[in-house]
Structure 1
Amino acid sequence: MKKQCVDLNSDMGEGFGPWRIGDGVDEQIMPLISSANIATGFHAGDPNIMARTVQVAREAGVGIGAHPGFRDLVGFGRRNIAETPQALVNDILYQLGALREFARLHGIRLQHVKPHGALYMHAARDETFSRLLVETLQQIDPNLLLFCMESSATCRIAREVGQPVVREFYADRDYDRSGSIVFTRRVGRLDPEQVAEKVLRACVDGKVRTVDGDDIEIGFDSVCIHSDTPGALELVQQTRARLVREGIRIAGPQASTTKN
């Protein structure tokens, strides 16, 4: 069934001091999206960047979420780090708390949490870690939206205990037959029209083509386009314009609590 509206999210504030990742177009992308995943200091981001990004999101009327990663500035959070589930959850809480205070300073609430990079993929596969993360979120904020893939352990466990999830569709990543994205540390420049058509097909037909050439069904509530993908601004512009032309509204996420 064709979607009437969809959330559009992107990772924001992924720099450190004078260093910036990607094309440095966060402030141009921000008004075009409905949810911003703000780096919280471990894979990227620092207090000044976080404060500025929250302010820009507030001015644009964009929902904000914490985007915690592995403690890996050098590797941009895309290297797996061996740690206990409790240590990783503690790292997430530390980062989430930092962004929550900047949100409070600007009079807005934290909408969601979305692990970054290798930590996101680790959660998708590791049931013990995902369960501890979800149970911890239940304690601190049972209404906090958790962004994840529908095919992930994270999604399944969150639904079991009633933590609201937002299932993501990745416009600028490839999929395998399991419905998982193919994790990569480096993404080349993509054709904006092809990306927009890929997203439109997912929104209208609920399907995506895998790297093996198969079509699979895909369930999602939000479309992600990474701000560090080369040409990210044009990808967001083309995708948004294509969806709007087809009558699909860009709006904040509707949480999914049961399989559909």
Structure 2
Amino acid sequence: MKNKRHIDLNCDIGESYGSWIMGNDAAILPYVSAVNIACGFHAGDPSVMMDTLALAARHDVHIGAHPGFQDLQGFGRRELQVTPREVYNLMVYQIGALMACARCQELSLRHVKPHGALYNLAARSASIADAIASAVYDVDPSLIIYGLSGSALTKAGLDKGLRVQHEVFADRTYQADGSLTPRTDANALIANEDDAVEQVLKLAKTGRVMTAQGTEVQLQVDTICLHGDNMQAVAFAMRIANALANDNINIG
């Protein structure tokens, strides 16, 4: 019998705010091994953070902080003009807030994954990536950084002595340099679910992905992100989990 391979499957959750509900966190949790919980700046609020931590604990998944720009109106997907020092402060504040909520429930954080525009900025800007890595290290050097595979952020984390997880995406298209297609482009998201499942399996098994230019690029694959902020997210997560299991790949 072949030995099973393993892949981490992560999802962004806790992105509701007040009376506004985003996603179906409880339904998607059975299909992932790690979650990234919004920390109140791009989404989430103290009550949502506390409730989401408790929900994650019940499903025994790895818990991470998901800090972003202070931009509720733009859901953290607009790139703001900030200095590295400001980014450092944003990170410390948000990680610390979720860490305090976790400690009150006798839980601990395992990782940190920046959100949206901050994530994309850190993927290409060495100074922003270093600010994020420095903040994570100063808050807790045992935390793992999730960053775009082969990006400035994963390099900064390694340079700082942190553990990193090179992340790829189930439903995003890629450019020839290994970067994500910007969300402003019409083809940023994979519309066909069959194509997305095929991309996940190829990434999990070979580390290769077909780019928007029709070429293949090799990536390091430690964790795969599923987006939970659309109506089909739960059904898609179930399908991904089943496809991985059928291909002898464990989630975890």
RMSD across aligned positions (CA): 1.7
Could you tell me how far apart the structure 2 residues matched to 1:137 and 1:189 are?
A: 32
Give the aligned length: 248
Deviation at 1:188, TM superposition (A): 6.3
Deviates more, 1:202-211 or 1:226-235: 226-235
Structure 2: give runs of 5+ residues left out of the alignment. none
Could you tell me how far apart the structure 2 residues matched to 1:188 and 1:170 are?
A: 10
Instruction: Name the CA shift for 1:136/1:188 in 2 (closer, same or farther; >3 Å).
Output: closer
Q: Which amino acid aligns with 2:39?
A: T
Aligned to 2:197: 196
Indicate conservation of the 8 Å contact 1:190/1:230, yes or no.
Answer: no
Structure 2 residue matching 1:155: 3-state secondary structure = helix
Q: Is 1:26 the equivalent of 2:25? A: yes
Q: Deviations over 1:126-164 (max 9, x none)?
A: 111211221232232111000001221111122223211
Could you tell me how far apart the structure 2 residues matched to 1:178 and 1:151 are?
A: 10
Aligned to 1:255: none
Q: Which amino acid aligns with 1:183?
A: P
Could you tell me how far apart the structure 1 residues matched to 2:134 and 2:32 are?
A: 29
Alignment of 1:27-106 (within 5 A): 27-106=26-105
Aligned to 1:226: 227
Structure 2 residue matching 1:15: 3-state secondary structure = coil
Structure 2 residue matching 1:16: 3-state secondary structure = coil
Superposition TM-score, scaled by structure 1 size: 0.91
Structure 1: give runs of 5+ residues left out of the alignment. 252-260
Aligned to 2:106: 107
Q: Deviations over 1:9-52 (max 9, x none)?
A: 0000111111123xx31110012111110011111000111111
Alignment of 1:105-184 (within 5 A): 105-184=104-183
Q: Deviations over 1:24-83 (max 9, x none)?
A: 311100121111100111110001111111000000001111101101000000001111
Indicate conservation of the 8 Å contact 1:188/1:229, yes or no.
Answer: no
Identity %: 38
Q: Deviations over 1:176-230 (max 9, x none)?
A: 0111111216976833332122111111122100011111111110010111144
Deviation at 1:247, TM superposition (A): 0.8
Could you tell me how far apart the structure 2 residues matched to 1:100 and 1:76 are?
A: 22
Could you tell me how far apart the structure 2 residues matched to 1:190 and 1:182 are?
A: 14
Aligned to 2:236: 235
Q: Which amino acid aligns with 2:103?
A: R
Superposition TM-score, scaled by structure 2 size: 0.93
Could you tell me how far apart the structure 1 residues matched to 2:104 and 2:242 are?
A: 33
Indicate conservation of the 8 Å contact 2:148/2:168, yes or no.
Answer: yes
Deviation at 1:3, TM superposition (A): 7.7
Structure 2 residue matching 1:19: 3-state secondary structure = coil
Structure 2 residue matching 1:180: 3-state secondary structure = coil
